[in-house]
Amino acid sequence: MTGAVVRRSTGTLWRSCGARVLLLPRHGDNVITLAGPAAIMWQALTVPTAVDDVRARLAAALDVQDDADLGPRVEELLRFLTEHGAVDVVAA
Amino acid sequence: MRDTGLPRPPSLTALESIAAHGLPGALVDGFSGGPLDARNWGRLLRDCGAQGLTGLLAAAVHDGVMPVTPSQAEDVYEAETEAAMTGLRLERLLLDVVGLLEGAGIQVIVLKGPAVAHLDYPNPSLRYFGDIDLLVGSERFDQAISVLGAAPYSRQLPEVGPGFDARFNKCATFTTPDGLEIDLHRTFALGPIGIRIDTDVLMRTPATFTLGDRQLSALDAESRLLHACYSAVTGQPLFRLSTVRDIAQMLLFNDLDHARLLALAEAEGGQHAVAHAVAGAWDALRLSDCLYLSAWAQQYPFTRKERWELDLYVRDDMSFLALSLATLRSLPLRERLTYLRMLARPHAELRHKRRSTVRRMTSALRELREIDERISSR
């Protein structure tokens, strides 16, 4: 997904519960719970954002190095959310 | 919830504190005694669910205001997750139902839970709900019932008689195959208070909110407060704490046109309901802030007829027939006979199996006479 621009799917319903975010994609049957870094990432996806920027913002929020480890984990989560219809890729 | 001088269970004081969490001027302090013991905690958790306060309970814990043990924190986590998941599923259903009705050209207004959560609270997670409530104008009510009936939703009770829904009914309740509930309203309450409400007027100036990828219509701010007041004094249970909190939330945080609110209430003969509800909310949440409307409510001069109308809703076992008979006086003369005929011979499924119409009517009249006696004895 490197280089892609992503954002929350507008049809996804969600609730912020303390430090967690619960999502119900428009056409999914299961509620997805995001916690910790994943919940922070969801907040960053309000507007179309480049995957690289998502990673950088997450690193800043967590106060960790934006290193080779973080990238694949962010991409894996974004891929999961995209597959479940919670996130849209708006530019490849 | 007036102070009786008797010791109050800690769970009850905590419940009131939760209902008032985040409100300016709330005097109740139910959190200063440390975490509740297991018995009171269990009761509190149950009551929060029943009173629609799970979101505020979680907020009080997240904000560090309410002391809890680690195991109680776990309970809150689970209760909040459950409430949030139900809320999301209900919102999905709401989008589906509004889509169906609007697709048929029917104007729909979202009432109560979802509308209030998104329009009146800073975070919808503070206000969970257990069903969805929609308002449709009287002229399209029958059509709306047909649309939902054609979808995979089943109506819980049949129409009392042909024509009853569109003219006299409060709402028709539908259930989805997975047990979620949809209340399709024509008005806000059974009985004389409800029959006088002209919802078409209230639907003319909708507010909007976004849910998922749709914009939905709700009542405007004054009409939402009006509806919350009607719910507080006519709903079961009376003065449900989530509704009481809604009233306080709207009055303390929304920029309301009080004159317009009172004009709307006066036009519907509902000023007594507003006064009773606002005074009750201020009392239940022990709010010290004095607003124009709270001061007005405290001094409202209830007439005997108004007290009688409000008393109709005090008994939770008041029969549908008694409430319906109480409505008669508020109907135009030409409609009273039609109304009585429908009540006397309702749909077969609604007929009482062992009691004749005369016995049911006699019993309903006795219920109304008891209210008369109660008012007279005051």
ipTM at complex level: 0.90
CB contact under 8 A, A22 and B213: no
- Nearest CB to A18: which of B58, B88, B91? B58
- Nearest CB to A22: which of B58, B88, B92? B88
- Assess B99–A contact: CB distance below 8 Å, yes or no: no
Distance from CA of A61 to the nearest CA of B (A): 20
pTM assigned to the model: 0.91
The contacts found for B67-76 with CB under 8 angstroms, 24 or more apart, are B67/B31, B67/B34, B67/B35, B68/B35, B69/B35, B72/B35, B72/B36, B72/B41, B75/B41, B75/B45
Instruction: Determine the Cα–Cα distance for residues B320 and B85; give it in Å rounded to an integer.
Output: 34
CB contact under 8 A, A13 and B212: yes
- How high is the mean pLDDT in each 10-residue block of chain B (378 residues)? 63 93 86 90 96 96 94 96 96 96 97 97 96 96 95 90 87 95 94 90 95 96 97 92 97 96 95 97 92 95 93 82 84 86 77 70 82 78
CB contact under 8 A, A17 and B89: no
- Assess A18–B contact: CB distance below 8 Å, yes or no: yes
Q: Write out the two tokens for B328.
A: 């008669």
- Assess B295–A contact: CB distance below 8 Å, yes or no: no
- Nearest CB to A22: which of B62, B85, B92? B85
- Say if CB B267 and CB B248 are below 8 A apart: no
pLDDT at B362: 84
pLDDT at A42: 93
- Single-letter residue type at A84: H
- Say if CB B42 and CB B72 are below 8 A apart: no
The CA-CA-CA angle for residues B186, B189, B374, to 5°, reads 160
pLDDT at B77: 95
Residue, of A6 and A63, whose pLDDT is higher: A6
Residue in the block written with tokens 């317009």: B260
Distances (CA, A) of A27 to A11, A39, B231: 8, 21, 33
- Nearest CB to B58: which of A11, A17, A31? A17
Closest CA to B65 of B95, B21, B104: B21
Q: Is A36 helix (H, G, I), strand (E, B) or coil?
A: coil
Summarised one tens digit per residue, pLDDT across range A32-79 is 999 988 998 898 899 999 998 888 888 888 888 767 778 888 899 999
pLDDT at B219: 98
pLDDT at B355: 67
Strands B132-135 and B181-185, sheet pairing: parallel
Distance from CA of A5 to the nearest CA of B (A): 19
Instruction: Determine the Cα–Cα distance for residues B154 and B157; give it in Å rounded to an integer.
Output: 9
**In terms of CA atoms, which chain B residue is nearest residue A33?**
B81
Residue A16 with chain B: CB contacts under 8 Å: 123, 125
Residue B98 with chain A: CB contacts under 8 Å: none
pLDDT at B72: 97
- Assess A73–B contact: CB distance below 8 Å, yes or no: no
Distance from CA of B234 to the nearest CA of A (A): 30
Residue B92 with chain A: CB contacts under 8 Å: 13, 24, 26
Q: Write out the two tokens for A39.
A: 């919940």
CB contact under 8 A, B125 and A13: no
CB contact under 8 A, A17 and B212: no
**In terms of CA atoms, which chain A residue is nearest residue B118?**
A15
B151 phi and psi, to 5 degrees?
A: -85, 175
CB contact under 8 A, B88 and A17: no
Instruction: Determine the Cα–Cα distance for residues B311 and B306; give it in Å rounded to an integer.
Output: 9
Environment class of B116 (CB within 10 Å of its CB; exposed 0-12, middle 13-18, buried 19+): buried
- Assess B87–A contact: CB distance below 8 Å, yes or no: yes
- Could you tell me which residues come within 8 angstroms of residue B232 by beta carbon, excluding any fewer than 6 positions away? B238, B239, B240, B243, B244, B247, B276, B277, B280, B281
CB contact under 8 A, A26 and B213: yes
- Nearest CB to B213: which of A11, A14, A24? A11
Q: Write out the two tokens for A82.
A: 């995209």
- Nearest CB to B84: which of A10, A12, A15? A15
Distance from CA of A41 to the nearest CA of B (A): 19
